[in-house]
A and B are shown apart, each in its own frame.
Chain A
Amino acid sequence: MGAAFAFVQTKGLSKVYGPTRALTSVDLRFEAGQVTSVEGPNGSGKSTLLALLGMLARPSKGDIWFGDRHVGRSPSLRASVGVLAHAPMIYPDLNAHENLRLFAQLYGRPHTQRDLAPFAERFALGSWAERPARTYSRGQLQRVALARAVLHAPQLLLLDEPSTGLDVASVERLITAVQQERARGAIIVLVTHDDPLRDRLADRRIALAQGRVAETPT
């Protein structure tokens, strides 16, 4: 389990890719136990914001704070972040259990079959989970991806278009899982173009436009 903190804050956060200003002086605060949706058109800086919060990219300027800890590519803070994106980030040639065991080990978490059994139960990983992930449906892939994203009980959970390509039942399962994470006290940042999903999950909405924080949507 990573560090516990009650908020994530960005101060003057900017990111430049060559001649492109992806984010410009963004000040935001995300609170524990809250789902914040980040909205905006394509190219508004949503993915860049998630990459910076996930420590996959370095800010060109500005700071990110996880509580009172400054994010400076510390591996221990990376353990506090979970990411669920459209791509499931699991190995197609390993089965669900093998994938979860690998990531549990990389996160320094208990990884025996007994340790991971609650995740298999929570995300309804049935007999299909014994097959290589290459054979899974989109919904099954996303269930494993969700289990991977939360198996280390991340304090910050980043959701990037998590419902793309999912059927109604899978979306319901996703919503339940996110609500459970919120109840646990996780800080959740949701980027989605799926309005019904956002309406059901978001406690707070912010909008980005051309890399800046725009007016809060109503």
Chain B
Amino acid sequence: MSLWRSALLVFQKDLQIELRTGEVTVTTGLFATLVTLLASLSFFIDENSARLVAPGVLWVSVAFSGVLAMSRTWTRERENDVFRGLMLSPAPRSALYVGKLLGTLVFLGAVESVVVLEVGLLFNLDLLPILGPLTLLLVLGTIGFAAAGNLFAAMGVRTSARDLVLAVALFPVIAPALLCGVVGTRELLTGAPLSEIWSWIKILIAFDATFLTAGVLLFEPLLSD
């Protein structure tokens, strides 16, 4: 069975469970909303300060809720030792990684669309003119973040310190992606055109390519005894 077909099966399964339980999107969505709301109450002074603070709030919400989402989706694989069942199947093992990654991207995409709306409303910012480049930053940032995060989360399936692995070890690794996301968003909010944030986008593309390749190549060796 091909990598893509197997990955789509894993993705469809995650989607089916999520549509039934709503567990990941509801939990992470509420968490991200809470972070955004508290930050707006604490930091919103005027429109100028909002343009400087909002990017950080947006990406902190994305990062924290993303860790929560990945932790939860991989916990599902641990219940009943079902991950072992997947590893026993003839599906390419990297397909399990790709399938989980696709699921994370969809769940986080849904949460991010709500968070962007909330940041716009709570910080009184008109995000519509920059929605295209902002979406590009978020998509690229999320791909890199999820590519690295799923690799760490998968390793955590077989360790007792899984939450520690994800929360502590992941953030230093994804720091470049978060940095590019925050700075790129801040530039956009202060009026920079797409051409001026191109260097951040290029770094994000390189980051994504690195971690997607690493994830596909390292998933099986890292999870084998």
A residues near B (Cβ < 8 Å) are 2, 15, 17, 51, 54-58, 75-76, 78-79, 81, 83, 85, 87-94, 98, 102-103, 105-108, 132-133, 141, 148
Contact = CB atoms under 8 A, between A and B. Distances in A.
Contacts of B9: 102, 105-106
Contact of A56 (B13, B21, B76, B87): B87
Contacts, number: 81
Majority SS at the chain B contact face: helix
B82 interface: yes
Nearest to B82: A89
Interface of B: 1, 6, 9, 13, 16-17, 20-21, 76, 79-82, 84-92, 224-225
Contacts of B89: 78-79, 103, 106-107
A156 to B, nearest CB: 11
A57 B6 CA distance: 21
A54 B84 CA distance: 10
A196 B90 CA distance: 34
A51 B225 contact: yes
A89 B1 contact: no
Contacts of B16: 94, 98
Contacts of A103: 85, 89
Contacts of A17: 225
B82 A90 contact: yes
Contact of B17 (A57, A91, A106, A107): A91
Contacts of A15: 225
Given A2-B90, A78-B89, A94-B17, A89 B225 contact: no
Nearest to A132: B20
Given A90-B85, A93-B76, A103-B89, 5 more contacts: A15-B225, A78-B89, A83-B85, A108-B1, A108-B90
Contacts of A108: 1, 90
Nearest to A51: B225
